[in-house]
A and B are shown apart, each in its own frame.
Chain A
C-alpha cells in the first residue's frame, strides 16, 4: 500500500478541499517513541484499520482495534496511544472539518451534497454516538482507498467525485453506528433508547428522519413500528412528551410561557398555545391560572 500524508495548508493536493484537514495512509513496520501521542482533534476523524492490532485510548477509554474496524473521533475529543507509540500495522485515515451552526449543531458543510435534513441528521447521530469503534466496516476502508486514488490521479471530475465519496463515507458510518447501537428485533429497547435521546434534547426540532436514523431504520418501517408500539405517529408521540414536560413547567411559577414553549421544542409560544389548547381545552395561561395557588 502506498504511504502518504496530506495536511491542509501543507499539501497543495488539498487546496481544492478546504474541508479536508488531513488524509493519510501508513504502514508501520517499526515501533517509534512519540509517534502517536494522545491529542485532541479539530475535525471529525475517521480511521480505518487495514492490518495489525492497535491499542488506543479514545476519550479516556481503552480500545483494542482489529482489521476492518473504523474509529470515529469527534471534534474536541482526545485519542492516541497511552505510551505514545503506534503499534505495528497498517491504517488509513481522514479528518474532515465540520461546520458548527448557530444552534450548536454540527453539519458537514457547504461542499456536501447532503440535503439540509440529512446533514442535520448525520451531525446529530455522530454527536450522539457513544461508542467510537465500528467493527467490520470494510466499506469504509474501500471508500477511503478510492478517495486516495482520486486525489493522486486527478482524473476528470475528481473534485466532485471525492466530495461525493466523503458524503458516502459519512452515510455508511452513520448507518452502521445506528445499526450497531440498536439491538436487532428488540423494538421496545430501540424505542426506549430513542425516547431517552428525545428527552435529553427536547428543544431540538426533531425530524422523523433523525428519529428513524437513531432507531436504525428507514422512515417507512420506523413510522409503522412506532405507530404499532405506541399508538401514535412519531411526531405525535413527541408532542406527548413536549406537552407533559410543559405541564410540569407551567405548574412551577418561575418560568415564562415563552421560555416553556421554546424549552419544550415548540416553534413559538403561538404554536405551543394552539397545540396545548387543542389537547387540553386550556390555553397555557389559563392552565397555569387554574393550577397556581396564592400562598
Chain B
C-alpha cells in the first residue's frame, strides 16, 4: 500500500501527516520549536533546531505508523509558513537565526519604500504588499544594519529552502513561497530586478525558482538509511501554508472565499489573475502559471481572544485556558448582537490587512454605565470578526464573493461561524478537517501522482461540514456598528502613531 507524507513547517511547530491514497489519515505527529525575541521587533528561529525537529518527528512517525504497517512512501510534500529569511554562507551554513514572518525589524525600510515612487512599480510587479515581514525588506535591513553578515551571505533562503537543502543538497523555492519574499515578478515568473535592487542583491543570491510540483532532488544516502526511505521517493517542493490551507478547504476558482482564523487570520480567494488593488493592500500568490491565491492577512484572531481570557477570564472554576475561553464564550452568547453598543478595535499587535499599520493599537469604544463584564467579552469577539469582515469587504471590491468557507480553531467555533455568516450576510460552510494545510499538501501530491487531473478536481473532493445561514436582522445591526468601527480605525491614524511611539 502506498502513502503520501506531508510536512508542514509551521510558525511554532512542524506537523507531519501520513495519508493513504484515498486521503485517509494514517497517522500524524508534531514537534514544537521555539521562537526567540531577543529584542522588541525581533522574532527568530534556529534553522538547525527546525531541521532536527522535523527529522526527529518524521523518523518517529515512520517507525511507529508507516514501516510497521508495510506502507510504501510514494511522495513527501512540503509546505511552510511564509516570509522567513535565513542568510547562509557560500557553503550553506547559517550565518544567524532565521527571521520569521513576525519579525518587524525592517519597519524603517518599509516606511522608506512605501513613501517612494518605487512602491507602485514593485507592487504592480510582485503583487505583494510592502510590509516589514517581506524578506525583500529584511535583506535590505541586513545590508544596512548588519553589513558583515550581509557580505558573507552566499544565499538568502526561506526556512523551507534550508530544510530541503539539508535533505537533498538543492537550493530551491517554489513560486508561491517566492511570492511571499516580495521579490517575484508574478507576470514573468522571474525575480524582479527593482525589488532585488532595493534589497541590494543579485538573483544568484536566491534559491532557484521552481513550480510547486517540482522534485526537490534525491534524499541524501544517510537520511535514506536513518529514515528507512527509498531513493526513488519523490520529494515535492510544495507550497506555503496559506496556499495549502486554501486548497485544503476546497476553495479553487470559484466565487467562494475562505476565512482562516487561528491565532492570526487571513481571508483568501483563488482566481486566474492578479487582483490589482490600488491601495496595495491585497497579496497575490502564484500557485501555478495561471492560478493565484489572493487575499489579506490579519494579526487579529484567536490570539487576541486568548489575551482577553488570560487577563479577564475567571480561573477559579476553569481548569486551563481552553476551559476558561469556553466559559467566556458561554457568557458572550447571553449578550445581544452588537454588544449593546461596545465596539472593540482588535489591534493589540498592530495590523496588516486592510490598514497595513504596525502602529495601530486596540481600544474599547462606546462604554456606558450599564455595560457589564459580559458585554466586553462579546465585544472582543465581535471586534476580532469585524476586522475579518473588513478584509472580506476589501476583497469584495475585486471579486464578487457569494459564499464563505471557514477553518481554523477560532473561526470554526459555532458562535463565531454564525457571527461571520451574519456580518457577511452570506452562507458559511465550516470545514470538517482541522488540518487544512496538510490536506492541501496531500491534494497537491495526489495531483502530481495523477490521482486527480488538476488542482480544481482535487479541491472539489473536499466535503464541507455544517452550513450556517445569515440572519438578516443581525446583519443590519452589525452593519450599523461596522460603519463606526471602520471610521474609528480610519480616524485614529495620528493617535495610533503617537501612542505607539510612547510605548
* Residues of A near any B CB (own CB < 8 A): 184-187, 192, 195, 229-232, 236-237, 240-241, 243-245, 247-248, 251, 277-282, 286, 290-291, 293
Contact = CB atoms under 8 A, between A and B. Distances in A.
B16 to A, nearest CB: 10
Interface stretch (B52-60, B117-125, B291-299, B436-444): B52-60
Contacts of A236: 56
A248 B34 contact: no
Contacts of B55: 279-280
Contacts of A237: 32
Given A251-B93, A280-B226, A281-B222, A230 B310 contact: no
Given A185-B324, A186-B310, A280-B226, A241 B56 contact: no
A231 B57 contact: yes
B321 interface: yes
Interface residues of B, number: 32
Given A185-B321, A244-B52, A279 B226 contact: yes
Nearest to B47: A244
Nearest to B13: A231
B324 A247 contact: no
Contacts of B225: 281
Interface in B10-55: 13, 29-32, 34, 46, 48-49, 51-53, 55
B320 interface: yes
B310 A185 contact: yes
A280 B320 CA distance: 37
B226 A281 contact: yes
Contacts of A240: 31, 49, 52-53, 56
Contacts of A282: 222
Contacts of A291: 91, 93
Sorted from nearest, which 10 A-B pairs have the closest CB atoms? Answer: A281-B226, A281-B222, A230-B32, A244-B49, A231-B30, A244-B48, A231-B31, A247-B48, A281-B225, A293-B91
Contacts of B324: 185
A229 B91 contact: no
A229 B226 CA distance: 26
A281 B227 CA distance: 8
Contact of A244 (B46, B224, B321): B46
A253 to B, nearest CB: 11
Contacts of B52: 240, 243-244, 247, 279-280
A279 B59 contact: yes
A178 B12 CA distance: 25
Given A240-B52, A279-B226, A281-B227, 5 more contacts: A185-B318, A186-B321, A243-B52, A244-B53, A277-B226
Interface in B395-410: none
Contact of A232 (B31, B227, B315): B31
B223 interface: yes
Nearest to B227: A281
Contacts of A286: 222
Contacts, number: 72
Interface string B72-114: 0000000000000000000101100000000000000000000
Given A229-B32, A231-B31, A280 B222 contact: yes
A237 B53 CA distance: 9
Interface in B417-454: none
A232 B57 CA distance: 9
Nearest to B169: A290
15 contacts: A185-B310, A185-B315, A185-B321, A186-B321, A195-B34, A230-B31, A232-B56, A247-B52, A277-B226, A278-B226, A280-B222, A281-B221, A281-B224, A281-B227, A290-B222
B207 to A, nearest CB: 19
Contacts of B222: 280-282, 286, 290
B50 to A, nearest CB: 8
Nearest to A230: B32
A241 B49 contact: yes
A286 B53 CA distance: 20
Interface string B332-355: 000000000000000000000000
Contacts of B59: 279
Contacts of A229: 32
A229 B320 CA distance: 13
A245 B49 CA distance: 8
A49 to B, nearest CB: 28
Contacts of A279: 52, 55-56, 59, 226
Contact of B223 (A232, A251, A281, A293): A281
Interface in B307-332: 310, 315, 318, 320-321, 324
A110 to B, nearest CB: 39
B178 to A, nearest CB: 26
Nearest to A247: B48
Interface string B214-237: 000000011111110000000000
A211 B383 CA distance: 40
Contact of B32 (A185, A186, A232, A280): A232
Q: Which of B52, B53, B324 has the most CB of A within 10 A?
A: B52
